[in-house]
Amino acid sequence: MKPALTQFVQFLEAIVRGFGFLAAWVCVALVLLVAGDVFARYLFRTGAVWAQELQWHLISPIALFGMSYALLSGEQVRVDVLYERFSPLIQRGIEILGGLLLILLGVLLVKLSLPWVEMSYMRGEGSPNPGGLPYRFILKALIPLGFGLLAIQGLAHVLRHAFALPPRSGT
């Protein structure tokens, strides 16, 4: 059973790793967009509303996909000065409880945000600014996607710690 469970956890973590990779490339796109916008503004004294809005929009996938990747990479916030003093059994219990709470939080936020995304889609919501970006529902759809990823990584985290699976590789 452990090899199958290990493969399942690795599959879940591969999904999160893929979205983490995507978030990293969105960071690159954001840097290029900001540099291009600054270049256009100061050199040509021009700018575009859509470019400024896109800068703000690109922060969303970085944060929403990055939070799951941070957990996968072990970069989540914890009080290490206390944590490191606990026995391995208590540390494992903390990791399992934390993962279960993340699953609960992720599922709850997916459930709460889906109607909001649907309403935005039905209205054809776009930017209220002239020259702004249309299809705001796409940006809003990142919220349930990001928290769904957090729930997926929470599940992988719980399984990895509950069954003492081998450490992940290639993070």
Q: Sort residue 10 into left (φ over 0), alpha (ψ -120 to 50) or beta.
A: alpha
User: Does residue 169 form part of some domain?
Assistant: no
Q: What is the pLDDT along the chain (171 residues), one digit of tens a residue?
A: 688 999 999 999 999 999 999 999 999 999 999 999 999 999 998 888 999 999 999 999 999 999 999 999 988 777 677 888 899 999 999 999 999 999 999 999 999 999 999 999 999 999 999 888 999 999 999 999 999 999 999 999 999 999 988 777 655
Q: How far apart are CA 44 and CA 38, in angstroms?
A: 10
Tokens (6 digits) for 34: 């900001």
User: Does residue 154 form part of some domain?
Assistant: yes
Tokens (6 digits) for 148: 């769904």
User: Does residue 171 form part of some domain?
Assistant: no
Q: How far apart are CA 12 and CA 19, in angstroms?
A: 11
Provide the pLDDT for residue 169: 62
Provide the pLDDT for residue 161: 94
User: Does residue 13 form part of some domain?
Assistant: yes
User: Does residue 167 form part of some domain?
Assistant: no
Q: How far apart are CA 38 and CA 46, in angstroms?
A: 9
Q: How far apart are CA 29 and CA 102, in angstroms?
A: 29
User: Does residue 168 form part of some domain?
Assistant: no
User: Does residue 17 form part of some domain?
Assistant: yes
Range of the domain at 125: 2-162
Q: What are the φ and ψ backbone dihedral angles of 133, each rounded to 5 degrees?
A: -80, 135
User: Does residue 23 form part of some domain?
Assistant: yes
Count of structural domains, the chain:
1
Provide the pLDDT for residue 84: 85
Which pTM does this prediction carry?
0.90
Q: Which residues lie closer than 8 Å to 25 by C-beta, 6 or more apart? A: none
